[in-house]
């Protein structure tokens, strides 16, 4: 499709320009991974911004086309699909942010490398606003009326945390030898697994979470 084939300035680390169709594919992977992951993944707002920009441009281009050109309908459908994917992806992220607010804010504080940030700037704002609104609601309704020694609110104790030991299906994009799978029953039967390119595995989330960040695997 002519509109999506336009080469655009990529946001890759190496500074290589990416094609819009590649960005779309990356975004699709991020979307599926986000759906299957028990916790929140690294944010990809660069892809989101890029695709939103693309569909805006496509809509602009379409306005110049003749009204009864049959290609218009196909392009519009394409735009609708992309927009649905982006919305669904961002909605999923918001749901997780709301569920694990305190856990994620706490985790975000410990991350110093900007490239590994889980929350985008806007999402961080959102999470903070959400957390403080809930807390102040607790304060006005209950906490300020209870005896003094119970007035503190400890989100670490009561907040919901994601279950990082749940199992996920994954597909390997880059061969990664000797991934250490620790024995969680504490009997020391650790194992090493070779992840070959193209293979699929059912595996506990925790040992492979770092591979998701380096994009060596995707969840399916």
| Binding stretches for another protein (CB under 8 A) | 48-49, 52-53, 56, 73, 76-77, 80-81, 83-84, 86-88, 90-91, 94, 98, 122-123, 125-126, 129-130, 133-134, 137-138, 140-142, 145-147, 149-150, 153, 158
Q: How far is CA 77 from CA 24, 44, 55, 66, in A?
A: 15, 24, 11, 16
Rank residues 32 and 181 by Cβ distance to another protein and give the closer one: 32
What is the smallest separation between the CB atom of 83 and another protein, expressed in angstroms? 6
The nearest distance, CB 6 to another protein, in angstroms, is 17
What is the smallest separation between the CB atom of 66 and another protein, expressed in angstroms?
13
Instruction: Provide the b/e sequence for 178-215 (b: ≥16 CB within 10 Å).
Output: ebeeeeeeeeeeeeeeebeeeeebebebbbbbebbeee
Nearer to another protein among residue 76 and residue 210 (C-beta): 76
**Which is nearer to another protein, 36 or 52 (by Cβ)?**
52
Query: Is beta strand 7-8 parallel, antiparallel or unpaired with respect to 176-181?
Result: unpaired
* Residue 4 φ/ψ, nearest 5 degrees: -85, -15
Let me know the angle formed at the C-alpha of 118 by 171 and 208, rounded to the nearest 5 degrees: 30
Name the minimum Å distance from CB 16 to another protein: 21
């Amino acid at each position: 499709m002519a509109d999506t084939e336009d080469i655009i300035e990529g946001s890759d680390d190496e500074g290589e320009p990416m094609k819009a169709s590649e960005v779309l594919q990356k975004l699709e992977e991020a979307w599926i991974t986000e759906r299957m992951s028990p916790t929140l993944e690294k944010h990809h707002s660069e892809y989101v911004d890029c695709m939103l920009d693309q569909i805006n441009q496509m809509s602009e281009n379409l306005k110049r086309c003749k009204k009864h050109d049959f290609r218009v309908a196909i392009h519009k459908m394409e735009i609708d699909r992309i927009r649905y994917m982006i919305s669904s992806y961002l909605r999923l992220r918001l749901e997780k942010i709301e569920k694990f607010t305190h856990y994620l804010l706490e985790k975000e504080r410990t991350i110093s490398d900007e490239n590994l940030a889980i929350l985008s700037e806007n999402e961080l704002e959102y999470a903070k606003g959400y957390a403080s609104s809930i807390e102040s609601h607790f304060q006005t309704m209950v906490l300020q009326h209870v005896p003094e020694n119970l007035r503190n609110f400890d989100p670490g104790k009561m907040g919901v945390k994601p279950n990082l030991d749940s199992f996920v299906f994954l597909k390997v994009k880059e061969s990664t030898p000797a991934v250490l799978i620790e024995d969680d029953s504490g009997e020391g039967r650790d194992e090493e697994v070779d992840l070959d390119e193209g293979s699929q595995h059912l595996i506990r989330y925790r040992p492979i979470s770092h591979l998701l960040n380096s994009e060596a695997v995707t969840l399916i």
